[in-house]
Structure 1
Amino acid sequence: MNSRRDAVDAWEALYRAQVAVLRHIRSEFPEGVTFTDYDVLFNLSRQPGRRSRIRDLNKHLLLSQPSVSRLVDRLAARGLVAKASDPDDARGTVVELTQAGWELFRRAGIQHSRVIAERMSSALTDEELAELARLTNKLRQGEEPAGPEGAGRA
């Protein structure tokens, strides 16, 4: 069994690596979209019909519900998402990726994925990338949904 110190050392190494890589990736992020904007667009792009209730979208983001609502309002004002009342719950709101939002997401995603691939591949072999994915997915399997107070994710 791993000792507590080994677990803390592994966490610190993982967290510090994430911060370093994230800083590099953010420094080369595409113009016209922020990292948090992209996160919302990315998560909507992965949902059936490219739409989601705000409360469900919130589960994928490290922002408070009011922050997500304000961010969605800003994206809607830019025409990147559309908001509608939830037909199943009048208190809820459904957010849908617009064509303009999809196109911005795709353009930003091409550049963003290139930067990620270059950064990750410059430090790790293909086998190490596969092992990293396996290990981090294994860590996530037992996770509880993290709220805004959760640390370590951008």
Structure 2
Amino acid sequence: MTTRWLTAEEQRAWRAYVAASLLLEDTLDRQLQQEAGMPHLYYSILANLSEAPGRSLRMTDLAESLKITRSRLTYAVARLEKDGLVRREECRRDKRGSVAVLTDGGMSVLERTAPGHVETVRASLFDRLTPEQVGQLEEICTRIAQGLQGDDGASGPEDLPWRRRSSRPCS
């Protein structure tokens, strides 16, 4: 098989993407560590739970939504549980499964931290783009995500995981 090497233009685009994504993640982590004492992943867990019906999600669905392993999620939820921000409950319909639930304390931390997080996202990303570029960014990222998920692009953006919530509640 012959390797299809990146063209000079593709190489520049790839390196720019890698640099930007690493710098953005580092910036978000720093801001959240300073304001909430937690990494971006932990904030994302709280945010996902806050948007779910009953502020709860099956652990497997939460791991899938965040694109992390169940063991990594288990470790993170254990830390959040220790801090009183999340609690775990048995899934009523599936005794093998468990549910992560955002506590009132977790919601308070999220509400206190969200404004600074949003300001960091805005200053780091969206304030640097034109409205047209924001649309292009969504289109490009959606196309990449659909391809990586094995989707031929036939489904609309509303069918992507970050645009919908789990339909498998446990209660």
Q: C-alpha offsets along residues 64-88 of structure 1, whole Å, 9 cap, x if unaligned?
A: 2222112212211221112111111
Matched, 1:13 2:16: yes
Matched, 1:119 2:124: yes
- TM-score under structure 1 normalisation? 0.80
Residue 98 of structure 1, CA deviation: 1.0
Structure with greater Cα Rg? 2
User: For residues 1-154 of structure 1, what are the structure 2 equivalents within 5 Å?
Assistant: 5-6=6-7, 9=11, 10-29=13-32, 30-144=35-149
Residue 95 of structure 1, CA deviation: 1.0
Query: Please, which runs of 5 or more residues in structure 1 have no aligned partner?
Result: 146-154
Query: Please, which runs of 5 or more residues in structure 2 have no aligned partner?
Result: 151-171
Aligned length: 143
Q: Is the 8 A contact 2:36 2:109 kept in 1?
A: no
Identity rate of aligned residues, in percent?
Answer: 27
Higher mean C-alpha displacement, 6-15 vs 61-70: 6-15
Q: 1:23 to 1:32 in 2, by over 3 A?
A: closer
Q: Distance in 1 between matches of 2:81 and 2:27?
A: 29
Residue 123 of structure 1, CA deviation: 2.4
Q: Distance in 2 between matches of 1:106 and 1:20?
A: 25
Q: Distance in 1 between matches of 2:94 and 2:149?
A: 25
Residue 39 of structure 1, CA deviation: 1.5
C-alpha RMSD of the superposition:
2.2
| SS state at 2:66 partner | coil
- TM-score under structure 2 normalisation? 0.73
Partner residue, 1:152: none
Q: Which runs of 4+ in 1 moved over 6 A?
A: none
